Amino acid sequence: MDHASKKTAPVTEVGTAECWRLIETQRLGRLALVDAAGEPVIYPVNFAVADGILYIRSAHDAKLRLLTAHPTVAFEIDGEEAGDRWSVVVRGQAAHVDLDAELRRTRATGLRSMSPTPKPHVIRIVPRSVTGRRFRERGEVEALRSLIFRPPAETLPPAARPPHPIPGITPRAGV
């Protein structure tokens, strides 16, 4: 990405190779799953990468049960680099690792959990898609507020005008 594109596009897409480079700079991400009721659940997880596959460790717990029942997952990391903020999302299929050769490969990555809970299970996430976005961190909030168009209250229809204070109730400051 060149410097000129940063100035013209507030949010830019990050290519796949750059996404993988960013992923490999991190060791902590967020794993998004779906629970039995269909609600999203997010777990912070330590991870490692080997041959384009993400690996995490898990205890024999709710996360492992959810992964088994609903193996379609999303994984997200984010960070800052050279004044830019970035985010990478991996969508894919999760599965329990049970082949000795693959378990040995994950050991070679240094995959470890920061949690004091034992995590004997290794989970592989095979990516279906890897996408990323990068943007320059926003400056002062007041500078942005000056760019927002607000017509004068008297030009608005009555339903769109700011409310009048209720008699006997003191308005909150800053509202």
Length of the chain: 175
Domain housing 95: 3-136
Q: Which residue has the tokens 């000056």?
A: 146
Report the CATH number at residue 98: 2.30.110.10
Task: Examine residue 18 and state whether it is found in any structural domain, yes or no.
Answer: yes
Query: For tokens 């700011």, what's the residue?
Result: 162
Tens digit of each residue's pLDDT (9 = 90 or more) over 20-53:
999 999 999 999 999 989 899 999 999 999 889 9
| Three-point CA angle 118, 124, 78, nearest 5° | 85
Residue 13, domain member (yes or no): yes
Q: Do the domain assignments include residue 59?
A: yes
Q: Which residues contact 50 (CB under 8 A, 6 or more apart)?
A: 105, 106, 108, 109
CA 19 to chain centre: 13
Contact yes or no for 33/73 (Cβ under 8 A): yes
**Mean pLDDT value of segment 105-130:** 85
pTM of full prediction above 0.75: no
Higher pLDDT, 11 or 105: 11
Distance CA 76, CA 88 (A): 6
Q: Quick check: is 130 in a domain?
A: yes
Number of domains comprising the chain? 1
- The CA-atom distances, in angstroms, between 105 and each of 22, 31, 49, 90, 92 are 21, 21, 10, 21, 20
Q: How far is CA 40 from the centre of its chain?
A: 13
